[in-house]
């Protein structure tokens, strides 16, 4: 077990290093750098070359790429990810400020999508092929294909502009500081409703269809037929025999979705003025704000690696056949 863990950690570290090198190389090899904008958007203004040279120098953009990476790595080792080129605030501060916003939004959306989607999926598997199930499948497919910017604006038009029951945008009201703690909580929740709804509807479909197909696949297998032949009732077969086996792909899905918690959604964040990671990522890439891009890469890479690690451990718990270490080979 210890050997296994140690090996996993070494692999994870190497993967992490690989991800940072790849991202660093990629973002730096895309044409254009942070300085191009100052010239491109200068209009008829005079730009002082001295100033541009100074900015290049400050961010080591005048050094060879491997040297730049070394500077970055050296800082990262002490958890210093430098400053944003755009607004010069420390990368850590900027990310720490926006991460909770994205996390809260996406956690709620994922939780609701899973809490509703998985039971519906299981129900669909049990009722597979019946008219009600077929109809729900079509419904989910439609839901999944609706573009989220459109749904977001539609929800906004209905609930915020016409009915005026929910806030139009933002994470809290203007009068937030004057509220009591309960009012503040309520205000936060009210602001969450529309963005969470926009994020949930498509993921709901993913969870429902994924768990349905996972369970259906298990039901088709011989041991289920055997259990049925043994005389076990439909519900008992599903619950005791099929569900536990169907958990495996669901764990994979969960492992894959956990990184969403920190990666944010550009569309929802921009429409609802949600000050989160998704918008930050997009803006940083467009502005070639290398330090921010790298900082965000570290966060997403870490979460992804940890999530896959946890998924592996859950596998072991869910399926006794999966064994750790050498003896399993």
Q: Does 273 bind other proteins (CB under 8 A)?
A: yes
Name the minimum Å distance from CB 169 to other proteins. 5
Region binding other proteins by CB under 8 A among candidate stretches 28-36, 65-73, 198-206, 238-246: 28-36
Q: Does 62 bind other proteins (CB under 8 A)?
A: no
Backbone angles phi, psi at 256, to 5 degrees: -75, -30
Q: What is d(CA 213, CA 237) in angstroms, rounded to the nearest whole number? A: 17
Region binding other proteins by CB under 8 A among candidate stretches 109-117, 131-139, 193-201, 267-275: 267-275
Residue from the set 288, 294, 296, 305 that interacts with other proteins by CB under 8 A: 288
Tokens of 155: 């929800």
Residue from the set 1, 2, 29, 30 that interacts with other proteins by CB under 8 A: 30
Nearest to 293 by CA among 4, 30, 10: 30
Residue from the set 95, 118, 155, 156 that interacts with other proteins by CB under 8 A: 156
Name the residue nearer to other proteins (CB basis): 275 or 319: 275
Alpha-carbon distance values, 144 to 2, 107, 255, 269, 307 (Å): 43, 19, 21, 19, 25
Name the minimum Å distance from CB 144 to other proteins. 23
Name the residue nearer to other proteins (CB basis): 175 or 229: 175
Q: Does 25 bind other proteins (CB under 8 A)?
A: no
Sorted by sequence, the CB contacts under 8 Å of residue 278 that are 6+ apart come out as 102, 263, 264, 265, 266, 267, 268, 269, 270
Name the minimum Å distance from CB 44 to other proteins. 5
Q: Does 199 bind other proteins (CB under 8 A)?
A: no
Q: Does 162 bind other proteins (CB under 8 A)?
A: yes
Residue from the set 6, 26, 53, 236 that interacts with other proteins by CB under 8 A: 53
The 3 state secondary structure assigned to 188-229 is: HHHHHHHHHHHHHHHHHHHHHHHHHHHHHHHHHCHHHHHHHH
Q: What is d(CA 80, CA 295) in angstroms, rounded to the nearest whole number? A: 9
Q: What is d(CA 120, CA 204) in angstroms, rounded to the nearest whole number? A: 9
Name the residue nearer to other proteins (CB basis): 194 or 218: 194
Backbone angles phi, psi at 227, to 5 degrees: -60, -40
Residue from the set 2, 29, 79, 164 that interacts with other proteins by CB under 8 A: 164
Name the minimum Å distance from CB 184 to other proteins. 15
Q: What is d(CA 85, CA 61) in angstroms, rounded to the nearest whole number? A: 11
Residue from the set 118, 271, 305, 307 that interacts with other proteins by CB under 8 A: 271
Sorted by sequence, the CB contacts under 8 Å of residue 32 that are 6+ apart come out as 288
Q: Does 129 bind other proteins (CB under 8 A)?
A: no
Name the minimum Å distance from CB 241 to other proteins. 50
Residue from the set 19, 55, 73, 76 that interacts with other proteins by CB under 8 A: 55
Sorted by sequence, the CB contacts under 8 Å of residue 202 that are 6+ apart come out as 143, 144, 146, 148
Using CB under 8 A as the criterion, which residues of the chain lie in contact with other proteins when the complex forms? 30-33, 36-55, 58, 83, 86-89, 97-98, 153, 156-157, 160-162, 164, 168-172, 174-175, 270-273, 275, 279, 286-288
């Amino acid at each position: 077990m210890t050997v296994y863990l140690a090996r996993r950690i070494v692999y994870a570290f190497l993967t992490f290093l690989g991800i940072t090198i790849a991202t660093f190389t990629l973002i730096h090899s895309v044409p254009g750098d942070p300085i191009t904008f100052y010239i491109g958007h200068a209009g008829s203004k005079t730009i002082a070359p001295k100033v541009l040279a100074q900015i290049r120098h400050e961010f080591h953009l005048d050094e060879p790429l491997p040297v730049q990476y070394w500077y970055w790595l050296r800082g990262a080792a002490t958890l210093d990810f430098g400053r944003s080129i755009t607004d010069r605030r420390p990368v850590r501060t900027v990310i720490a400020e926006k991460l909770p916003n994205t996390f809260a939004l996406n956690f709620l959306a994922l939780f609701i999508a899973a809490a509703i989607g998985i039971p519906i999926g299981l129900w669909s598997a049990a009722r597979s092929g019946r008219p009600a199930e077929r109809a729900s499948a079509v419904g989910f497919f439609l839901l999944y294909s609706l573009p989220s910017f459109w749904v977001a604006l539609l929800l906004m038009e209905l609930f915020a502009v016409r009915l005026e029951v929910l806030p139009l945008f933002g994470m809290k009201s203007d009068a937030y500081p004057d509220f009591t703690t309960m009012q503040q909580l309520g205000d936060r929740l009210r602001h969450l409703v529309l963005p969470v709804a926009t994020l949930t509807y498509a993921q709901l479909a993913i969870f429902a269809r994924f768990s349905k197909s996972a369970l259906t696949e298990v039901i088709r297998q011989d041991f289920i037929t055997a259990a049925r032949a043994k005389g076990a009732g439909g519900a008992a077969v599903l619950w005791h025999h099929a569900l536990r086996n169907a958990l495996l792909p669901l764990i994979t899905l969960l492992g894959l979705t956990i990184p969403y918690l920190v990666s944010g959604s550009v569309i929802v964040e921009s429409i609802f003025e949600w000050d989160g990671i998704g918008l930050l990522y997009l803006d940083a890439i467009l502005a070639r704000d290398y330090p921010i891009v790298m900082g965000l890469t570290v966060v997403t890479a870490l979460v992804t690696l940890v999530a896959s690690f946890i998924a592996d451990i859950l596998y072991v718990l869910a399926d006794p056949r999966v064994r750790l270490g050498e003896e399993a080979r």
